[in-house]
């Protein structure tokens, strides 16, 4: 399945719609512009297996560029629009991108263009999507000069995303290209279609930035299945409800922080929109507190599905809402690959015992230019087993329960503490918008547990509220798992994927320790 198929069978069907404006691109138009884009890449010497980078906010052109690169057999490297020029340059250089497409509305784009000889000396071409950056060729004008025929040497390309860098420098996740035809079937499309029943009648609302893996992958799958993809400029809770009603949205991929924002809307606001078209929501990327997910199911019904997996594609689990209600907190059973839960020595542990989560049987990924990280992701005795660094256990029926990430573990007085449990509890407090639990230096115990909380109302950032939250934790959890102190932050550094950028928070408290 490929969008080319629907350019022939349903040429006028909208393939892409920008939610805010209603401007759309049909499947026929998508096919024509993708062919021109592939021709443009070839005219610039971009060959099969090369990399092109996309540094854009959500826009109609995002998937036009994607499908042009895909049929030219290229790696497609999306770059976060929030990065500085230096951070974007790191990804562009590390990915070995030969061409970059950007826009003046990217805050740091002008700086990168100005200093391109220093920052990105290997990139031969930088195109401007909106003609607002001095000295760059216009992507639109360059496209218009190309023929609309297929290139002679089409083959299947794929995206190469970068890890979020929550614990260090982001790393490119590179999968081998198949070398097959551009319109060959793709496993992700087949799996997602089978899981959720998506197809030509589906209307998929994408509320998250397309430079993240899941929104990009689900958008790609939407076009492979002939669905209509409605793209939001950025997530807004009430606007999401309005768009579901306006476009009769049938499917969404979301993250738990979006659930929190939706549930924070007054009941009078939530109840005024017709959401009856919405058949399924899937979430992943970050832990979802049990109370939050339960409220979502009580509101919208049993339409909330969940999976666990990473951009690496090394395996996944899946759980239906009905299964989750029977096993709250589980992320499901393996539906791609085989699960192995291992101790520090690499031995498999019994059900109910926490260990490092490995998958066997997924894609054989590599971290680009980082053989050490690639090696560390493999089991010491079974290199075909790979891990994303998460800790968890399975029950007697094989359902996985995640405890936390290995890198976030707090060791206090020799006791291993996983902060996710306290984070999941704090976020259920009605006056808490977000929370991070970390280990901070303690002269006696090495580390102690601290929470950094973002209150809904900034006026709640008081010592009294801090003590109230500590008491709230102690009334629900063992004291050893609870924060000994709480600081407040007006906005925690959470990525649009829902992942918490804990490294930035921890660095505030450990900077002095590193200089001693």
The answer to whether residue 230 sits within a structural domain is no
pLDDT exceeds 90 at position 90: yes
Same domain, 337 and 460: no
Same domain, 386 and 438: no
185 CB-near residues (< 8 Å, 6+ apart): 1
pLDDT exceeds 60 at position 449: yes
CA distance 54 to 132: 16
pLDDT, residue 417, reads 79
Name the domain boundary from 357, 378, 407: 407
Same domain, 344 and 458: no
Summarize pLDDT for 2-52 with one digit per residue, the tens.
999 999 999 999 999 999 999 999 999 999 999 999 999 999 999 999 999
pLDDT band of 489, cuts 50, 70, 90:
very high
pLDDT, residue 495, reads 72
Same domain, 393 and 435: no
pLDDT band of 91, cuts 50, 70, 90:
very high
The answer to whether residue 155 sits within a structural domain is yes
Identify which has the larger pLDDT, 7 or 479: 7
Element (H, E) at 43: helix 27-43
What's the whole-number mean pLDDT along residues 332-340? 96
What's the whole-number mean pLDDT along residues 356-385? 92
Same domain, 356 and 472: no
- Count the domains in the chain: 3
Same domain, 50 and 109: yes
Residue 315, token pair as written in the block: 């395996």
Same domain, 168 and 104: yes
pLDDT, residue 237, reads 96
**Lowest-confidence range among 459-473, 477-491, 496-510?**
496-510
- CATH number for the domain spanning 103: value is 3.40.50.12780
Element (H, E) at 33: helix 27-43
- CATH number for the domain spanning 327: value is 2.30.38.10
Identify which has the larger pLDDT, 476 or 47: 47
**Lowest-confidence range among 220-224, 355-359, 449-453, 502-506?**
502-506
pLDDT, residue 514, reads 41
Exposed, middle or buried, 372 (CB in 10 Å: 0-12/13-18/19+)?
Answer: exposed
Same domain, 44 and 88: yes
Same domain, 417 and 400: no
Same domain, 384 and 490: no
pLDDT, residue 414, reads 60
Summarize pLDDT for 252-309 with one digit per residue, the tens.
999 888 998 999 999 999 999 999 999 999 998 777 888 899 999 999 999 999 999 9
Contacts 24+ apart (CB under 8 A), 213-217: 213/159, 213/161, 213/311, 213/497, 214/253, 214/284, 214/285, 214/497, 215/253, 216/66, 216/78, 216/159, 216/161, 217/159, 217/188
Name the domain boundary from 375, 407, 439: 407
Same domain, 387 and 476: no
What's the whole-number mean pLDDT along residues 345-366? 94
Same domain, 57 and 89: yes
pLDDT, residue 168, reads 58
Q: What percent of the chain has pLDDT over 70?
A: 95
The answer to whether residue 376 sits within a structural domain is yes
The answer to whether residue 224 sits within a structural domain is no
pLDDT, residue 515, reads 35
What's the whole-number mean pLDDT along residues 130-151? 94
Name the domain boundary from 355, 390, 407: 407
What's the whole-number mean pLDDT along residues 333-338? 95
Q: What percent of the chain has pLDDT over 90?
A: 78
Identify which has the larger pLDDT, 318 or 410: 318
Q: Please provide the size of the chain in residues.
A: 516
> Is the CB of residue 244 less than 8 Å from the CB of residue 205?
yes
* Average pLDDT score, the chain: 92
Residue 354 lies in domain? 321-407
The answer to whether residue 147 sits within a structural domain is yes
**Lowest-confidence range among 88-102, 152-166, 331-345, 458-472?**
152-166
The answer to whether residue 460 sits within a structural domain is yes
- CATH number for the domain spanning 509: value is 3.30.300.30
């Amino acid at each position: 399945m490929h969008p080319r198929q629907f350019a022939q069978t349903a040429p006028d069907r909208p393939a892409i719609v920008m939610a805010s404006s209603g401007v759309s691109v049909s499947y026929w138009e998508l096919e024509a512009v993708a062919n021109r884009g592939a021709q443009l890449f070839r005219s610039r010497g971009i060959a099969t297996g090369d990399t092109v980078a996309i540094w854009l906010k959500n826009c109609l052109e995002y998937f036009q560029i994607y499908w042009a690169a895909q049929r030219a057999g290229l790696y497609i490297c999306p770059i976060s629009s929030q990065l500085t020029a230096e951070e974007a340059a790191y990804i562009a250089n590390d990915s070995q991108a030969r061409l970059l497409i950007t826009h003046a509305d990217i805050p740091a784009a002008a700086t990168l263009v100005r200093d391109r000889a220093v920052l990105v000396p290997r990139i031969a071409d930088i195109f401007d999507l909106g003609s607002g950056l001095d000295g760059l060729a216009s992507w639109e004008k360059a496209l218009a000069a190309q023929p609309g025929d297929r290139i002679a040497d089409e083959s299947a390309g794929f995206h190469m995303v970068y890890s979020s860098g929550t614990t260090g420098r982001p790393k490119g996740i590179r999968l081998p290209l198949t070398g097959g035809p551009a319109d060959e079937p793709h496993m992700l499309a087949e799996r997602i279609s089978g899981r959720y029943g998506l197809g030509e009648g589906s209307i998929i609302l994408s509320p998250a930035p397309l430079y993240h893996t899941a929104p990009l992958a689900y958008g790609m799958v939407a076009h492979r299945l002939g669905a209509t993809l409605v793209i939001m400029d950025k997530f807004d809770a009430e606007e999401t409800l309005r768009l579901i009603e306006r476009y009769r949205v049938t499917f969404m991929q979301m993250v738990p922080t979006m659930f929190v924002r939706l549930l924070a809307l007054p009941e009078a606001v939530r109840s005024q929109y017709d959401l009856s078209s919405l058949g399924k929501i899937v979430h992943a990327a970050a832990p979802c507190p049990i109370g939050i997910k339960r409220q979502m199911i009580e509101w919208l019904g049993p339409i909330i599905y969940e999976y666990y997996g990473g951009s690496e594609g090394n395996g996944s689990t899946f759980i239906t809402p009905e299964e989750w209600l029977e096993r709250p907190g589980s992320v499901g059973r393996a539906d791609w690959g085989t699960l192995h839960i291992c101790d520090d020595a690499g031995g498999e542990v019994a059900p109910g015992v926490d260990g490092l989560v490995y998958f066997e049987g997924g894609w054989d990924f590599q971290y680009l230019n980082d053989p050490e990280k690639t090696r560390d992701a493999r089991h010491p005795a079974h290199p075909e087993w790979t891990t994303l660094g998460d800790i968890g256990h399975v029950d007697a029926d094989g359902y996985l329960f995640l405890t936390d990430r290995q890198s976030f573990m707090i060791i206090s007085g020799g006791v291993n503490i996983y902060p996710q449990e306290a984070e999941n509890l704090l976020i259920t407090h009605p006056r808490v918008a977000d929370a991070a639990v970390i280990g901070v230096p303690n002269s006696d115990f090495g580390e102690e547990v601290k929470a950094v909380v973002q209150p809904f109302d900034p006026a709640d950032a008081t010592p009294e509220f801090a003590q109230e939250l500590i008491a709230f934790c102690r009334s629900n959890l063992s004291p050893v798992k609870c924060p000994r102190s709480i600081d407040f932050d007006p906005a925690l550094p959470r990525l649009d994927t829902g992942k918490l950028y804990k490294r930035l928070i921890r660095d505030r408290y450990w900077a002095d320790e590193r200089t001693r």
